[in-house]
A and B are shown apart, each in its own frame.
Chain A
Amino acid sequence: MRFLIIRKADEETEAGALPTPALFDAMMRYNGEMMDAGILVSGDGLRPSRDGARVSFRDGVPTVTDGPFTEAKELIAGFSIIDVPSKEDAIAWIRRWPVEDANGNARIEIRPLYEPGDFGEEFTAEWLAQEERLRARAGTPRG
């Protein structure tokens, strides 16, 4: 099962505070352990919401709002994707999250990803094939 691991934002990440060398070391060690265990698929950090934007659709009409967004604790500061046998395994890994992060007060949310088989009959064999073709081509550098 693949899980999205969400590191929730806080005042410091929204202020654009960069990680300390100690945190950097600890995260790198943690990521290395997940990599050695063969479960880490990808991971990245997000710049503060002031560098982002929102696009809202009302009946198909888009409206753009520039960041920053105020509800810091509901925003996302970073994410990883891990591939583990169960939700319990995912939680066991997250329990080991470095205490150096947010002075030991980090808030993490884990969410299972939809896999093609989850879409049932709506997702025909033809769609599965197209989906796989697109995935294979994703990440191809632009010309």
Chain B
Amino acid sequence: MRVMVMVRANADTEAGVMPTTQELEAMGKFNEELVNAGIMLAGEGLHPSSRGARIRFDGNERSVVDGPFSESKELVAGFWLWQVRSLDEAIEWAKRCPNPTGAQSELEIRQVFDAEDFGEVMTPELREQEERLRAQSAARQA
């Protein structure tokens, strides 16, 4: 199964504080272990919310609110996608992560929906279309 592992933001990540060389080294080593174990699918860091935006929908109306957003501990500062056998395996890997945002850090692990989870809503036609889109996307990234 696939999981998304999110790094929670804090005051430093929201202020755009860059990691030290030592922190980059520790995270690089952890990422390498994830790749070697065949677990790593993707991983990215996010700029502070001051460089982002929110779009609210109300029927056909759309309103745009520019960042920053105030509730920093509910924001995301970065994420990985991992291929694991179970949630427990993901938790074990997460525990080994170097503190991603300083002494106090939090990771949230969430399971990703697979096509099978959608049952009959996912008709064979939709499934075919989904697979075609994913194949196109993978080909473009390669």
- Tell me whether B55 and A32 are in contact (CB under 8 A): no
Contact-residue bracket for chain B: 35 or more
Report whether B129 and A107 are in contact in the complex, using a CB–CB cutoff of 8 Å.
Answer: no
Cβ contact of A32, chosen from B118, B122, B133, cutoff 8 A:
B133
The count of residues in chain A whose C-beta lies closer than 8 Å to any C-beta of chain B is 76
Max chain B CB contacts within 10 Å: which of A118, A120, A138? A138
Interface of B is mostly: mixed
Given that A52-B111, A113-B46 are contacting pairs, would A91 and B55 also be in contact in the complex, using a CB cutoff of 8 Å?
yes
Residue from the list A69, A74, A95 in contact with B71, Cβ < 8 A: A74
Q: CA of A91 to CA of B52 in the docked complex: distance in angstroms?
A: 10
Chain A's interface: helix, strand, loop or mixed, by majority?
Answer: mixed
Interface residues of B (CB under 8 A from A): 2-4, 6, 18-21, 24, 28, 31-32, 35, 37-47, 49, 51-60, 62, 64, 69, 71, 74, 76, 78-79, 81, 83, 87, 90-91, 94-95, 97, 99, 103-113, 117-119, 121-123, 126, 129-130, 133, 136-137, 140-141
